[in-house]
A and B are shown apart, each in its own frame.
Chain A
Amino acid sequence: MKILVCISNVPDTTTKINFSDDKKSFVSAGVQFIINPYDEIALTRALELTEAQSGTVTVLNVGDASTEPTIRKALAIGATDSVRINALPRDAYFVAKQVAAYAAGQGFDLILTGRESIDYNGSQVAAMIGELLDIPSVSIVKSLNVENGNAILEREIEGGKEVLNCPLPLVASATEGMAEPRIPNMRGIMSARTKPLAVVEAVAVPEMQAYISYDKPAPRSQVKLVSNDDVKNLVTLLHAEAKVI
């Protein structure tokens, strides 16, 4: 089985987010970058599937040279080889176009992404790749199995799940439950240094949107503490003051 896993390079989950004074850009100085956590779940599942049935896992990132440590981390976790599309990931459509241009005609059985990146939260790339390649896409998948060229997937729905059957090839975006991420071992880290990392130039994509400014949520006013002897008062406040019950 031949699998392509798309990874994005995002600020670590513990990062305090800051923007430039004109609010137009994210300040990345001093920020630790990691593999997007949902992409790491997808990568782990891809490795499990190829270990069980043989095959290769290629990781792809759209980014400038600064993302290479993140790509090497994915190789250390166990990916076979890697590709970096040499461009800043302007928006989801741009990224999907790059992935589709790279993947077209290469015979990938599965293309996996995370359900969304934890920075811009687009949650669009997987389904866009599917549409661009005219193959099915299943978004927000918590279980993925492959048998005889056919995938059985469970996707999250409100209040439950949907079980789907789909012939390969297909695109799926991963959420928690699909796999438990792995910590790379020393052998993986050593071998990652010499695994292939191809750099490919980007294709041109028309621009249809732009992030023009950012804001942070307003801080909440001082917490109102209710005595633990007077829990009833909390219910009164939620009803009469907050008006939420």
Chain B
Amino acid sequence: MSVLVYAENSGGKFKKSTFETISYGYAIAQQLGTELSLISVGEVSREELERTAQYGVSKILTVSGDQLKNFVNMAYASVIASAASSENATVVVMAASFTGKGLAPRLAVKLEAGLVDGAISLPDTSHGFVVRKGAFSGKAFADVSLTSAIKIITLVPNSYQVNDNPKPVNIEDYKPSIKDTDFRAMVKEIVRAADKVSLPEAEIVVSGGRGLKGPENWGMIEELANLLGAATACSKPVSDAHWRPHSEHVGQTGIAVSPNLYIAIGISGAIQHLAGVSSSKTIVVINKDPEAPFFKSADYGIVGDAFEIVPKLIEAVKEFKAVHA
């Protein structure tokens, strides 16, 4: 018996969300009185693999090769399923990333496992195995009881703390057999903006709404985001009007985020938008309308015109950074 974590990498490096899943997997292994194993697929250096030992991993299986350099959904699912069998895993954990969301369901079918996508806290193993997740797109939480022999969980970024639990680790080159037919959907190209903070994983999000009047006014949103190391986001009317890309749309039918700090500028706070940000730890609202519904769901607010407040906020953050650098 063991807990297995799939450690997703991005260009050969593990991200914070991967370390979160490792810490989360380790905590489950502790709950179940077992050990944590890790499977890595793709080109990841030994040095990078060894970093995971800091968070409680006892054994690492690593699979590489030209065909697996980029993500191939079917092949990766086959590799992880083989690893789960050889490690005798009863729980498999991965990040609820865009990739994890496409991978975990295939794995669930292969392993005849119950799957909870988007867990936000540790399972309750006192009576069975119950996992809490978001439901109704941020408007509620649901507790899901998994009754299968093998359980799979994907973990929402920013919902579990990275904890140090250094362990001696054993790294093994793992060579499962993979069918040729697993290589059908193949990556042609990966396009990534080098300097952008990824929205679903961001610890701080600066978001703009219709109150900004037009795409030409996003300069100050981006400046504030850069200063704070934040991702930029927007409301649905803004992406519908093509002022900003759909990938920045936060809300019930866009991305759900759970940052430490969400700053909403010129967003009134429609129920669909609130749903997507309800898991944020702290919410700041800047809106010129004191009756904007968003103030009722905010921790801090400033009533004022964005074009006046945001430049002041930028200056205040610069001063703060000069002192706290």
| A-B complex is real | yes
B32 in the interface, Cβ–Cβ < 8 Å?
no
- Chain A residues 98 to 153 lying within 8 A of chain B, measured CB to CB, are 115, 118-128, 130-132, 134-140, 142, 152-153
Bound CA–CA A13/B271 (angstroms): 8
Interface residues in A152-167 by Cβ distance below 8 A to B read 152-153, 155-167
**Candidates A127, A131, A220, A228; contact of B302 at CB < 8 Å:** A228
Contacts of A210 in B (CB 8 A): 144-145, 147
Tell me if B147 and A207 are in contact (CB < 8 A).
yes
A209 touches B114 (CB 8 A): yes
B245 → chain A closest CB, angstroms: 8
Interface residues on A, range: 35 or more
Contacts of B147 in A (CB 8 A): 207-210
Check if A29 is an interface residue, CB within 8 A of chain B.
Answer: no
CB–CB A131/B254 < 8 A? no
Count of A-B contacts judged by CB separation below 8 Å: 282
Q: A138-B185, A161-B191, A162-B71 are in contact. Are A128 and B105 (CB under 8 A)?
A: yes
Are B246 and A176 interface neighbours, CB within 8 A?
A: yes
Q: Which stretch, B23-31, B49-57, B211-219, B315-323, touches the partner chain A? A: B315-323
Whether B239 contacts A176 by the Cβ 8 Å rule is yes
Contact of B281 among A127, A212, A237, A244 (CB under 8 A): A244
Distance between B320 CB and nearest chain A CB, rounded to angstroms = 5
Contacts of B301 in A (CB 8 A): 223-226
Asked whether A242 lies within 8 Å of B299 as measured between CB atoms, the reply is: yes
Once the chains bind, are A209 and B146 in contact (CB under 8 Å)? yes
In the complex, per-residue mask of B262-292: 1 if CB is within 8 Å of any chain A CB, else 0: 0000000001100000110111110000000
Binds A, one of B85-93, B161-169, B306-314: B306-314
Compute how far the CA of A38 lies from the CA of B252 in the bound complex, rounded to whole angstroms: 11
* Interface residues in chain A, defined as those with a beta carbon under 8 Å from any beta carbon in chain B: 11, 13-14, 16-17, 19, 26, 37-38, 92-93, 96, 115, 118-128, 130-132, 134-140, 142, 152-153, 155-167, 170, 173, 175-177, 206-217, 220-221, 223-228, 231-232, 234-235, 237-239, 242, 244-245
Other A-B pairs beyond A119-B136, A120-B135, 9, CB < 8 Å = A13-B253, A125-B105, A130-B74, A131-B105, A158-B200, A164-B185, A164-B186, A209-B146, A245-B320
